[in-house]
Chain A
């Protein structure tokens, strides 16, 4: 963790309550997740209890508290996608990526990462493109009308190898 980097981020914001979210967002942009040390450092710097920062970080699904993979796969679980089989897609992705389903996180978030830290898998409620249901997103690219058969092909473009 680079302390100076975080100090720069803190300096960027004015001295008011609402800055915490901005600061945490900027930290996540650098590390892709919120390292525990960074939260401790921010808490010390701003004189905000760590418990409050942890509350914020666990409240918003946007924040990750565990290291994430290189590519983040988000499966839409909205109503339209659910009807068109989002659950099957999620289960198949977990099988393809060999992610243990029983690995529950203590902070109550669904965010699973493969062992080699290449892929992370999570779910979202709705992307707002229900007409293309079922939808998955890999990094910033959205794939519509996804079928189970297409999944290996999509994963391969991101460096997935079937063993």
Chain B
């Protein structure tokens, strides 16, 4: 059984791991902090933000710096997560991030953690930026939209310093499900959605709007109807006649509680006879 496992050394400590596991996963499982901005367990390794860089050293191999979120573990791997060189690179990266997007909490927090007070680079500021000058182009939203939701609403546009993320042709997209997955994963909170009446509007994605479903009990709009259809198409065995489907989470709770109450009342009468 022991052959299934390999051993990895992180900051001098020996850890058990499976071959091919990502180094960042091993580190996090064992409570070692590695900062990340673009890492998401459910997505394929990408390595865009470079915050998770570590130093690796092996016998006969020259010391090198690489991203731990794309590094697959092998037996006898030596990793240092906070060597002086790694810290030096990380500080430069944070200065660059501060120039690109100075406001997001997460960037401020990381900058403080690594003692970066100000940036030496020219701050990038665009007027009327749909992403509130908070986008760091990590690509998480694009990946989530493609890999998990399978919608592919947004993509990178242009290249170099002019790269942006938006819908094709900067037009309203009719593919958007309104699932808010992009806003959920965004490390800097740049993506904004607003629920207005029976529409969910994505200000960041060229004002793409998605219709919301109305709760049959309280009349509150609670979820995008397109998303509901999508779930139906995936889980074709989902009970179409289930009354809970058309209720908002609050009303669902009420109905379920009532059901439980009814059963107990009946039972009480039954046993009272």
Point out residues on A near B: beta carbons under 8 Å.
36, 39, 48-55, 58-59, 106-109
Contact = CB atoms under 8 A, between A and B. Distances in A.
Contacts of A53: 168
Given A36-B169, A106-B170, A51 B159 contact: no
**Chain A CB within 10 A, most for which of B142, B156, B164, B170:** B156
A54 B158 contact: no
Interface of B: 142, 145-146, 151-159, 162, 164, 167-170, 175
B155 A108 contact: no
5 contacts: A49-B155, A50-B175, A51-B152, A52-B146, A59-B158
Contacts of B157: 54-55, 58, 107-108
Contact of B154 (A36, A51, A59): A51
Given A50-B152, A51-B168, A58 B146 contact: no
Contact of B169 (A49, A52, A54, A109): A54
B42 to A, nearest CB: 19
Contact of A50 (B145, B156, B162, B168): B168
A49 B175 CA distance: 9
Contacts of B168: 39, 50-51, 53-54
A47 to B, nearest CB: 10
B170 A55 contact: no
Contacts of B159: 58-59
A52 B155 CA distance: 6
A59 B162 CA distance: 10
Query: What 5 pairs across the A-B complex have the smallest Cβ distances?
Result: A49-B152, A51-B155, A54-B168, A108-B162, A108-B158
B167 A51 contact: yes
A51 B153 contact: yes
A106 B153 CA distance: 18
